[in-house]
Structure 1
Amino acid sequence: MPLSRRGLIGLAVSGSLAALTEAAALGGGRAARDVRRGHFRAIVIGSGFGGSVTALRLGQAGVDTLVLERGREWPVAPEPHLFGSAHGITDTMFWRRGTTRWPAMLPVPVRPGAGVMEVAQEDGLDIACAAAVGGGSVVYTGVTLAPPRRYFEALYPAALSYEAFHRKWFPKVRAMLGATPMPDDVYRSAPFTHSRLWDRQLHRAGFRTSALDSTFDWAVIRAELAGTAPLSATVGNSDFGCGNGAKKSLTRSYLPAALATGHVRLRALHEVIALQRGRRGGYRVEVRRLDTTGTVLETLELSCDMLFLAAGTLNTNRLLVAARERGDLPDLPAAVGTGFGDNGDQLNLRSQPLAFHGGSQGAPSASAAFLHREFELPLLVENWVLPTYQATPAVATFAMTVDHDHRGSFRYEPATGRVRLADWTPGKSAAAAQAVTAYSGRVAAANPGTLPVTINNPYPFTAHPVGGCAIGRCTDLSGRVHGHRGLYVVDGSLLPGNVGGANPSLTIAALAEHALAGIVTAGG
């Protein structure tokens, strides 16, 4: 018996995807089969934006699909800080790290385990990526923004029509995610005093700001403001998730809808470590089953006809480059692992000691400004918050630069068996840093009383790694990897090293929607 929409929504809001999986299984769908049976029509690695879209569209097409996610499921719970924060560090924050590492966070010893955020210290760049059911939607700032046409068309093949994305794919994703601008009553509330100050400072500098679409749940934000929900988003604690349900993550949209088809099964704490050609076609996937501390319980070998890589840019590149260099998938394109970029990510803090910033600073980003020609590189600047500084008279900016030049490559190290970002240098982040410093200087000059010295992040950092398997170069326009029937890439690896003046989540999901429409129509 199929689940009703009311039942689907109820399970999604409760955060119980495991319960939804079992409910679908009881309905007699193919999801009832255990993963140990070995073979699936399709396996999706990762449950973030690309993986969740893929799972839903395959499930709707009746394709027997298994989603493997290395991270844990984090249901909505009454605890105010389920994941931990800069003010309440826990062992659940970081993926297999013994010391915290995050912008403006002091290094503190923690017990390594299956935390919600991986921070890979690559040479010249820290790369942050999620490790959770729902992927980046659990830890991101909720911004749901499309790149401007001019930058999209400069980055992608001409056959990938911006008009089609503008009219069809971007709106389709926005509707699924429930993205809306911050309501005025929230914007006018005390925790968003810093947002209003940020807007005012930019307006004085001659920059026009506009409201951002967001996937924060404004009903929960209002409950926080009213004192009827545990505080999380309104006090800036969201980088490691909001345990009170303040984010409409993929666990409330694409994933429960996929599981409700009865053709999709999701397995958390299943880490894919190797890919190979199948003995009789298709693909073999080596998987470690973990417990909640990250300890390996057993190793499984699964197989499939269709394999979808949606493990996030860092881990998709790790898997594919290792498979090519070890000879497991020797004919992968030479371009796989190249063209990586940091999306020009930059953090900036600006202080105006005599202005009131509010008693706390809320996490949802209220507004942004596109600065196309003012500085060395085009900039998107967003009102942001660093929880460590929420009680200080300072406002934070997260900036993304349109950078077509600076790219890196992933390479396999035979001695260690690891794939590393091999050729990123601080100089590749320098142009973006200079543009953001110039922006902040202009804003400071237009606002008397603002400190002239700006503080940038002390080490290069990206929360938006993209590229390595660029669409149209390593794949066709539906993410099919050249020369490998049944192998697909549907995550941020498809983006050519830069989003084009936007956060990547909407573009990743829209590319996945576009790709799956073609794949389902063609039968593969």
Structure 2
Amino acid sequence: MEHVDTVVVGSGFGGSVAAYRMAEAGRSVVLLERGRPYPPGSFPRGPAEIGRAFWDPEAGLYGMYDVWSFKGFDSVVSSGLGGGSLIYANVLLRKDERWFVTDLPGGGYEPWPVSRADLDPHYDAVEEMIGVAPYPLDREPYRDTPKTQAMQDAAAELGLHYSLPPLGISFAPSRGAEPGVGLPIAEPAYGNVHGVKRRTCRLCGECDIGCNDGAKNSLDHTYLSAAAFHGADLRTEHEVKAIRPRPGGGYEVDYVHHDVDVPKGRRPVRTIACSQLILAAGTYGTTFLLLKSREAFPKLSAALGTRFSGNGDLLSFLLKAKDRNRIRPLDASRGPVITSTIRLPDALDGAPGAGRGAYIQEGGYPSFVDWMVPGLEPDEQIVRVVKFLWQRFVEFFKDAPDTNISKELSDLIGDGALSVSSLPLLGMGRDVADGRLELRGGRLNVSWSAETSEAHYARLRKTMRAMADVLGAEYADAGDQMLFRKRVITVHPLGGAPMGRHEGEGVCDAFGEVFGYPGLFIADGAAMPGPVGPNPSLTIAAMADRLCSHALERGGRRRTVLGPPEENGAATDAGNPKGTGAGPASGEAGPPEGAGDGAAYGTDSGSPERDRGSSRGASARTSLSFTEVMKGFVTFGESDPRAGEVAEERERLTFRLTITADDVDRFLAEPEHTARAEGWVESAGCGGRRTVRRGRFNCLAPGGADDRRLMKYRLYFTDGEGRPRTLVGHKNVVHGPPTRIWPDTSTLYVRILDGHVPEGGDADATAVAAGVLHIRLPDFARQLATFRASGEDAAEALVRFGRFFAGALWDVYGPHAK
């Protein structure tokens, strides 16, 4: 069984933040996302493509939209790498300071376990990472945006508070630059998981169906790319089916890989173990997992499933609206989906009789929606609509109705469907969180009614009707337009596993940790104890950032390098009984003595004996690290690397290592220039991706001659069957023309030895495989950006390392006197 420090389930605003923070802190992280990646240019556009863009694996649908239908309301969530950020409208508003309360069904309210002051530093961090900016309405060509002007006019006429909210969109090619349409966006230092160029916003109104230009600063372009840069393993099309505590500590996660090349009935359920499990599968996904796994978690709070809220969402349309000059129909397709917001005050703001606060934002739709209108003949359209409504009618009378209607909507759309028109409006705010999620016949069901929040919805409708009057439009609820009469549509489901001050009040504490289950966290909208009010994405991300800060402060920012769990006995918290993550548990059968001790690797133990060779104490040391990726071929049963690289039965092998010199002074002074190596080795013959339990790297060590140096690797791991293995390799840097520098320093001759073989024992060991690995130029370019130094002399350490490396190469390849 595979074992890592942290497993994150889901890649939305909670999961992506958690994956990045934990990986950046040095934890081994696997993120499991059920959907697939969507690089710019891959989002569906044509009628047939959008008709398949729904999530229902049982029906063979693996698309982006996951549509749920419950009694009284419908809900849309997302499936794909980046979660809800793929289809959200980019608004990143902070929760109002006075709104950190939960309204009680019988009246009154109680404060949340967290406050705005608690979250403000984390709001700052998320905004900086994602990159936010208001719509640049004061500049050309953005001034001509009819829907934004319409919102301004309506707000001014009605005396409402209007603003341009922060948006997670790149209007400019880099931060601080002038905005422009369709300009190439500068890549951040951590790169991009898709490897596809991005361009600034084209004002095409396609945000909610996926941005094919990459102008949205969605999570795959930001947090997830940074997480991958720091070593997080992002596994797409991996759907989690069950979770449970692990005897002795930690958790196990069962998942299925939705490999479309493998028939559904033959896709195996696999299991991964972890010391820390972070659930971020969304309100429905996380709560569903916990409800299904309740028998395995008997100490879960009775609050599980409670405090469900739709964040007061109300979708409406202003039909036949005119532009501000009342001459031509308003074109809602120009600009991002949302550019502006109107805020309705709350009684908590000091506005007597105002009721619960709310927001209203204009929507938009792609300019190409005209394809929806002529795509169907009237008779064919009627048949599909009737069939859809009949299925809804039948489901209503079932004891356990199928609440996932993605398949039905896919059939309804088919090759086209009726379009919406004019100006969409999205309202949201502080509804009453009195809904409950539960299992019925193995399916997720929600018991919720809009009746207790009727005053909130009535206020929104009244304001929207007034806006329609100002704009000369007709008002219509989405339910009337979309064949869901008198139903609410929410895109912001919250609650189900709410936080609380104790287990009688909530499922998790104020930091998202589940009561009674250390190391199990909830990092998504399920943890909200009530509505956020404004768009909840930023608050969910800030909560996740706060969760990670707390967990890392408690557990330490160190990398734990583990083998399979069966080798770690009953050790808890990443293989260490005391939870320090410092190394293997007592009694573990690890690599041989001397194979990887701190003295040999230059690690920081703090002991006087290991401070020899350095004139400074441990606290004053400067460390240096970089990450290296090498790929190539090996052949099992071969002992010669060159023969193993070209044999017909060869197979791919990759490793990704973080090389760290904890004391740069000692690293440079020692003739072997030894550093530690951590990461993973991946090969089918080794059982897939295997964690390096201990590793060593020598940088340009003596090679037996003045004009020869060796870059040596020794990595200890176990294969998929639990057998100990040692990967040994060397780069042969020998005198020759300068054109040899690149091939010599980028070519690694490797052998995989049976057992954990100490230094000096290679000749007597059995080689089970051999081959050659290389650094590709794109990987080398990324490697250069990974160099990091920390300590008092960090900048100087990077310079000294560069001089050492260049000087050693000069000694080898430079002209030799005769």
Partner of 1:6: none
C-alpha separation in 2, matches of 1:61 and 1:444: 51
Query: Is 1:310 aligned to 2:280, yes or no?
Result: yes
Structure 2 counterparts to residues 169-318 of structure 1, below 5 A:
169-184=122-137, 189=142, 192-219=145-172, 222-224=180-182, 234-262=203-231, 264-292=232-260, 296=264, 297-318=267-288
Note if contact 1:41-1:64 (Cα within 8 Å) is conserved in structure 2.
yes
2:114 to 156, 160, 164: 160
Query: Could you tell me how far apart the structure 1 residues matched to 2:302 and 2:274 are?
Result: 24
Pairs within 5 Å for 1:21-60: 37-60=1-24
Q: Is the counterpart of residue 115 in structure 1 residue 75 in structure 2?
A: no
Distance 1:479 1:176, change over 3 A: same
Shift of 1:393: 7.2
Q: Which moved more, 1:372-381 or 1:279-288?
A: 372-381
Give distance in 2, aligned partners of 1:418 and 1:286.
Answer: 18
Shift of 1:283: 1.5
Q: Following the alignment from structure 1 to structure 2, what is the Cα–Cα distance between the partners of residues 477 and 231?
A: 38
Q: 1:346 to 1:89 in 2, by over 3 A?
A: farther
Residues 1:145 and 2:93 aligned together: yes
C-alpha contact (below 8 Å) 2:147/2:332 kept by paired residues: no
Over 3 Å counting, the alpha-carbon distance change for 1:218 and 1:295 in structure 2 is farther
Assess, with a 3 A threshold, how the Cα gap between structure 1 residues 57 and 439 changes in structure 2: closer, same or farther: same
**Matched-pair contact (CA < 8 Å) for 2:4–2:275:** yes
What's the counterpart of residue 5 of structure 1? none
Supply the AA of the counterpart residue of 1:484. Answer: Y
Aligned residue among 504, 508, 522 for 2:536: 504
**How far does residue 298 in structure 1 lie from its aligned partner after superposition?**
2.5
**Bigger mean CA offset, 140-149 vs 298-307:** 298-307
> Can you list the C-alpha shifts for 1:171-191, whole angstroms capped at 9, x where unaligned?
111010001111136685477
Give the CA deviation at 1:280: 3.7
Answer whether contact 1:190 1:358 (CA < 8 A) is retained: no
Deviations 1:178-207 (A, max 9, x none): 011111366854772121122212211111
The corresponding residue for 2:341 is: 368
SS of equivalent to 1:461:
strand
Whether the 8 Å contact between 1:343 and 1:401 is mirrored in structure 2 is yes
Structure 2: any 5+ residue segments left out of the alignment? 104-109, 174-178, 185-196, 347-352, 371-419, 481-486, 501-505, 556-572, 574-818
**Which amino acid counterpart does residue 181 of structure 2 have in structure 1?**
A
Equivalence for 1:9: none
Instruction: Please tell me whether the aligned partners of residues 191 and 358 of structure 1 are also in contact (alpha carbons under 8 angstroms).
Output: no
CA distance 1:360–1:157, shift in 2 (3 Å): closer
Alpha-carbon distance in 1 for matches of 2:511, 2:67 = 30
Contact 2:180-2:200 at 8 Å conserved across structures: no
User: Do structure 1's residue 469 and structure 2's residue 430 form an aligned pair?
Assistant: no
Q: Which of residues 477, 486, 506 in structure 1 aligns to 2:519?
A: 486
How has the CA–CA distance of structure 1 residues 175 and 225 changed in structure 2, closer, same or farther, with 3 Å as cutoff? closer
Quote the offset at 1:452 in angstroms. Answer: 5.2
- Measure how far apart 1:509 and its partner are: 0.6
Write the distance in 2 (CA, Å) between the matches of 1:157 and 1:506: 20
Distance 1:389 1:61, change over 3 A: closer
For residues 321-364 of structure 1, give each alpha carbon's deviation from its aligned partner in whole angstroms, at most 9, with x where no partner exists. 1111xx12222111011111000001121243444323833333
Q: Distance in 1 between matches of 2:306 and 2:542?
A: 22
Where does 1:342-491 land on structure 2 (aligned, <5 Å)?
342-351=310-319, 352-353=321-322, 354-356=326-328, 357-358=330-331, 360-373=333-346, 376-387=355-366, 394-403=422-431, 405-413=432-440, 416-421=441-446, 423-427=447-451, 430-445=454-469, 447=470, 450-451=472-473, 453-458=475-480, 459-472=487-500, 473-491=506-524
For residues 345-393 of structure 1, give each alpha carbon's deviation from its aligned partner in whole angstroms, at most 9, with x where no partner exists.
0112124344432383333311111111586542111121245997887
> Comparing 197-206 with 64-73, which one deviates more in the overlay?
197-206
- Measured after TM superposition, the shift of residue 247 of structure 1 is 0.7
Structure 1 residues 475 and 194, CA gap change in structure 2 (3 angstroms) = same
- Of residues 52, 61, 70, the one that matches 2:25 is 61
Separation in 2, partners of 1:66, 1:233? 35
Q: Structure 2: how far apart are the matches of 1:432 and 1:386?
A: 26
Q: What is the CA distance between 1:307 and its match in structure 2? A: 0.8
Residues 44, 55 of structure 1: 8 Å contact kept: yes
CA distance in 2, matches of 1:378, 1:279: 47
- The question of whether the paired residues in 2 share the 8 Å contact of 1:127 and 1:461 is answered with yes
Which deviates further from its counterpart, 345-354 or 246-255?
345-354
Instruction: Indicate conservation of the 8 Å contact 1:284/1:301, yes or no.
Output: yes
The answer as to whether partners of 1:117 and 1:240 remain within 8 angstroms in 2 is no
The structural deviation recorded for 1:231 is 11
Larger Rg belongs to: 2
Higher relative CO (CA 8 A, sep ≥ 6), structure 1 or 2? Answer: 1
How many residues align? The count is: 460
2-side partners of 1:225 and 1:41: how far apart?
A: 40
Unaligned runs of 5+ in 1: 1-36, 99-110
State the distance in 2 between where 1:47 and 1:295 align: 25
User: Residue by residue, what CA displacement relative to the aligned partner does 1:371-419 show, whole Å, maximum 9, x if unpaired?
Assistant: 115865421111212459978873221111212x242111122xx3223
SS of the equivalent of 2:145 reads helix
Q: Is the 8 A contact 2:8 2:18 kept in 1?
A: yes
Change in Cα spacing, 1:187 to 1:424, as seen in structure 2 (3 Å) is farther
* Deviation of the 1:431 alpha carbon: 3.7
1:62-81 alignment, distance < 5 Å: 62-77=26-41
Correspondence for 1:513 among 539, 545, 566:
545
Q: Structure 2: how far apart are the matches of 1:305 and 1:439?
A: 50
Distance change in 2, residues 1:355/1:311 (3 Å): farther
Give CA deviations for 1:69-99 in whole Å, capped at 9, x if unaligned: 001011123x6xx2237x675255211189x
TM superposition score normalised by structure 1: 0.80
Distance 1:389 1:442, change over 3 A: farther
Cα deviation, residue 292, structure 1: 5.0
- Equivalent in the alignment of 1:90: 50
**Alignment partner of 1:132 is 2:80:** yes
Post-superposition Cα deviations, 1:207-246, rounded to whole Å, max 9, x if no partner, equal: 13111100122148943599x9999963322222112212
In structure 2, do the counterparts of structure 1 residues 368 and 73 end up closer, same or farther at CA, with 3 Å as the change threshold?
same
Taking only aligned residues, the RMSD between alpha carbons, in angstroms, comes to 3.0
Indicate conservation of the 8 Å contact 1:72/1:292, yes or no. no
Alpha-carbon distance between aligned partners in 2 of 1:293 and 1:182, rounded to the nearest angstrom = 43
The structural deviation recorded for 1:314 is 0.7
SS at match of 2:34: coil
Distance 1:146 1:491 in 2: 16
Letter of the structure 1 residue corresponding to residue 509 of structure 2:
D
- 1:346–1:457 contact (8 Å) kept in structure 2: no
Do the aligned partners of 2:308 and 2:434 also contact (CA within 8 Å) in 1? yes
Is the 8 Å Cα contact of residues 254 and 272 (structure 2) preserved in structure 1?
yes
SS of the equivalent of 2:98 reads helix
CA distance, structure 2, for counterparts of residue 355 and residue 291 of structure 1: 53
Shift of 1:248: 0.8
Residues in 1 aligned to 2:453 and 2:183: alpha-carbon distance in whole angstroms: 38
Q: Matches of 1:119 and 1:481 in 2, distance apart? A: 28
Equivalent residues of 1:275, 1:285 under 8 A apart: yes
Contact 1:186 1:222 in 2 (8 A): no
